[in-house]
Amino acid sequence: MKNPYLLRKRNGVYQYKLAQEKTYHSTHQRNQKKAIEFVISKMTGKVPEKSLEGVTLGAFSKDFFLHDKCRYIAKKTSKGKEITKEMAQMRRGHLMNHILPAFGQRILDTIAKSEVDEWLVRYQKVSNRTKNLIIDTIRIIWDEAVDRGVVNENPMRTIEKFNNNYKTRDIFTAEEMKKLFPEHIDELISIWGDEKFATLFTVLATTGIREGEALALTWNDWMVTDTSSVLHISKSVKNDRRIGSTKNKKERIAFVNRYTASILERWRGITEYKQGDDLIFPNLIGEPLQRKTCQRTFQKSISNAQVVIGERNIVVHSFRHGFNTLYRPILGDEALQKFTGHSSKDMTSHYDHPSIDDRISILSKYSEVFSKTWEDEILKRAVN
């Protein structure tokens, strides 16, 4: 069978001519194997874009996972497969924070699967769960490289994933919580640095709501009646500071105990953002706080309170775990799930859509429980 193309080398660069052609064309390759791959790609219609010849991973992926620029996202969207902004942001974080620092300057088609695999094994900055997500991100990038003719196949598809080594989050002891949240307001502010953060972290510790949910609260979400004080949880601040739905896309209420209500009232009297639709915890220009700002305050305040963390995995979300631990024996699983927003296959709430007033009425019997438990277990507990 006649060879469908001819290959020759001129000035160190391979040229090719298809059987029906009279003139030679450059493959732009000095390596024979690469030149043959180029010709085969040309014949099969999968031709590398000229601007991508010898492209580095950093250059190839510069627009990846940017919602208004990424070809991958546009392609998925055109096929009716939504890539949420949260997912795109997560993938972009994998790329910018982990993948590019290791391989960004390398020519894309010179990066071997074995190199990536060995790098992931050695990489100690993230958990195995995050490593698996990074593998997924790498596979997406290489799939696009195949589609655009930069590489002929995606070897990253065969990287073996890791076993999940998720590290359980720990909680503060009752004695440590008393140090972090002293009864007297001046001491509380001294620990947390100012009234805003003292109020924010008190809300997190005493209501069990998520950090993003707290950052999205407006004053309209705080509702006070003759018998109860509640927060209406219906939205959350995402990692890009955009306000969206809660994690499970459901709304709920969270009771505010007497201790927290007094601190919220004090904060509303101080902040310049006190109108109904203003955020309760804004930055200096009235927009959502950044999570990293909250994280820095959290770490500094732990030190201010002289709480020793040691080897424990203590994070902001530990307050939610601590809330669950404190109130679960008192409320029981079903009632607690209504307040925390956790889902359960045993509950019928999926089909239940009560109004906010109905929710308050149904759960108001627990209002005193939240105040008394906090006062008895935290505020009145002696520190050893």
| CB proximity list for 275: less than 8 A, separation 6 or greater | 219
pLDDT digit string (tens) for 150-174? 888 899 999 999 997 666 778 898 8
pLDDT score of 351 more than 60: no
Fill in the amino acid letter for 217. Answer: L
pLDDT digit string (tens) for 205-232? 999 899 999 999 999 999 987 778 899 9
pTM of model > 0.95: no
CA dist 195 → 29, 147, 173, 282, 296 (Å): 65, 54, 24, 12, 16
Average pLDDT over residues 354-368: 58
* Range name among 35-49, 281-295, 358-372 with the lowest pLDDT average: 358-372
**Structure token digits, residue 56:** 């580095």
pLDDT score of 139 more than 50: yes
Q: Which of 64, 144, 55 is nearest to 99 (CA)?
A: 64
How far apart are alpha carbons 301 and 34 in whole angstroms?
A: 58
Distinct helix (H) and strand (E) counts, the chain: 17, 8
How far apart are alpha carbons 76 and 60 in whole angstroms?
A: 18
pLDDT level of residue 349 (50, 70, 90 thresholds)? very low
CB 193 within 8 A of CB 312: no
Map out the domains of the chain as residue ranges.
1-47, 51-166, 174-379
* Size of the chain in residues: 384
* Ramachandran category for residue 216: left, alpha or beta (phi over 0 → left; psi -120 to 50 → alpha): alpha
CB 123 within 8 A of CB 159: no
Q: Which CATH number fits domain 174-379: 1.10.443.10, 3.90.1150.10, 2.40.160.40, 1.10.10.60?
A: 1.10.443.10
Average pLDDT over residues 366-383: 65
pLDDT level of residue 350 (50, 70, 90 thresholds)? very low
Domain 51-166 coded CATH 1.10.150.130? yes
Higher pLDDT, 40 or 317: 317
Long-range CB pairs of 91-97, under 8 A, 24+ apart, other chains included: 91/64, 91/65, 91/137, 91/140, 92/64, 92/65, 92/66, 94/133, 94/134, 94/137, 95/61, 95/64, 95/65, 95/137, 95/141
Average pLDDT over residues 335-361: 49
pLDDT level of residue 354 (50, 70, 90 thresholds)? very low
pLDDT score of 248 more than 60: yes
pLDDT level of residue 360 (50, 70, 90 thresholds)? low
How far apart are alpha carbons 235 and 256 in whole angstroms?
A: 18
DSSP for 254-279 reads EE--HHHHHHHHHHHHH-S--STTSB
Higher pLDDT, 224 or 140: 140
pLDDT level of residue 333 (50, 70, 90 thresholds)? low
How far apart are alpha carbons 320 and 172 in whole angstroms?
A: 11
| CB proximity list for 149: less than 8 A, separation 6 or greater | 41, 46, 47, 48, 49, 52
pLDDT score of 347 more than 60: no
At residue 358, the pLDDT reads 56
pLDDT score of 316 more than 80: yes
* Range name among 251-255, 296-300, 328-332 with the lowest pLDDT average: 328-332
At residue 283, the pLDDT reads 95
Residues above pLDDT 70, as percent of the chain: 84
Average pLDDT over residues 343-372: 52
| CB proximity list for 228: less than 8 A, separation 6 or greater | 255, 360, 364, 367
How far apart are alpha carbons 379 and 174 in whole angstroms?
A: 9
CB 330 within 8 A of CB 244: no
CB 288 within 8 A of CB 153: no
Average pLDDT over residues 318-327: 84
Mean residue pLDDT across the chain: 84
pLDDT digit string (tens) for 69-104? 899 999 888 888 888 888 898 999 999 999 999 999
Higher pLDDT, 340 or 202: 202
How far apart are alpha carbons 332 and 16 in whole angstroms?
A: 75
How far apart are alpha carbons 140 and 157 in whole angstroms?
A: 9
